[in-house]
Amino acid sequence: MGGTPTDLKLIDERGLRIDGRRPDEMRPLRIEAGVLKRADGSAYVEWGQNKVMAAVYGPRECHPRHLQNPERALVQCNYNMASFSVEDRKRPGPDRRSHEISKIISEALTHVVFTEYFPRTSIDVYIEVLQANAGTRCAGLTAASVALADAGVPMKDLVAACAAGKVADTVVLDLGKEEDNSGQADIPLGYVPRTGEIVLLQMDGDLSPEEFDKGVRMAIDACRKVSEIQRDALKRRYSASSADVDAAQAVPEMPKEGP
């Protein structure tokens, strides 16, 4: 949030944004579930120019053991940005920002997972940002909840996420990179459609109470759409797998060789 520089017009005369979107328009979102063979569950998300992979392992024995909770599972998220994901090469390894994002995503997911079903275990969620263009925490959380569902982890609902914000004195949905750099505010939000709970909410920049309400409402409406796209990805994945099973069953078993 750097304040609007005079040479960059974030909203034009027609009220359209730098990439041609209307203020309440989200970037195109595509989700695919079950993309990694060796993870228990996985999902790939392309959201505008963001490309994010999520993988889930577990529930499995929690290490180190002193972190084990005898009453519930621990949801441990690890958010990482690849060095090549941003314009200026990112120094590899964890930093303050990735710790923060890992923590808020772990907390958001803990709200929906039935952790009490799996005492002493850990559910490990890895989020790898392959290409970043603002909004990666929302893309990461959206991908992670699809990956959890793909892993068969029981949950109240999927968490859907989307940000709203303010650019050129206008409340807008789903900020892109230029808007994030030069805009006035950014509010990433994680939402559980079934219960109406907000499980992630941050704010960077300044907004009046009215602008904040408008932004939150806009983000919640977008989360409902994100949730449908998440469900469609899971339906596609599972209808494809059952088609695979049907096809496999249709093939007669080959006679075994030798005595």
- Please identify, using beta-carbon distances, which residue of 43 and 162 lies nearer to ligand CDP: 162
Nearer to ligand CDP, 9 or 97 (CB): 97
Beta carbon nearer to ligand CDP, 59 or 135: 135
Residue holding tokens 């899971």? 234
CB nearer to ligand CDP: give 137 or 237.
137
- For residue 186, the minimal CB distance to ligand CDP (Å) is 6
Helices (H) and strands (E) in the chain, counts: 4, 10
Smallest gap, in angstroms, from Cβ of residue 91 to ligand CDP? 8
Q: Which residues bind ligand CDP (CB under 6 A)?
A: 86-87, 90, 97, 132-137, 177, 180, 188
The Cα–Cα gap between 25 and 209 comes to: 22
Shortest Å, Cβ 232 to ligand CDP? 24
Q: Which is nearer to ligand CDP, 102 or 133 (CB)?
A: 133
Residue 126: CB minimum distance to ligand CDP, A = 17
**Burial (CB count within 10 angstroms: exposed 0-12, middle 13-18, buried 19+), residue 184:** buried
The residue with tokens 């120094």 is: 91
Q: How far is the CB of 101 from ligand CDP (least distance, A)?
A: 7
Which helix H or strand E contains 190, and what residues bound it? Answer: strand 185-192
CB count within 10 Å of CB 205 equals 16
Structure tokens at 166: 């303010």
Smaller CB separation from ligand CDP, 17 or 137: 137
Closest CA to 199 of 138, 116, 122, 151: 138
Strands (E), 34-159: 41-47, 50-61, 74-81, 121-131
CB of 178 to ligand CDP, least distance (A): 10
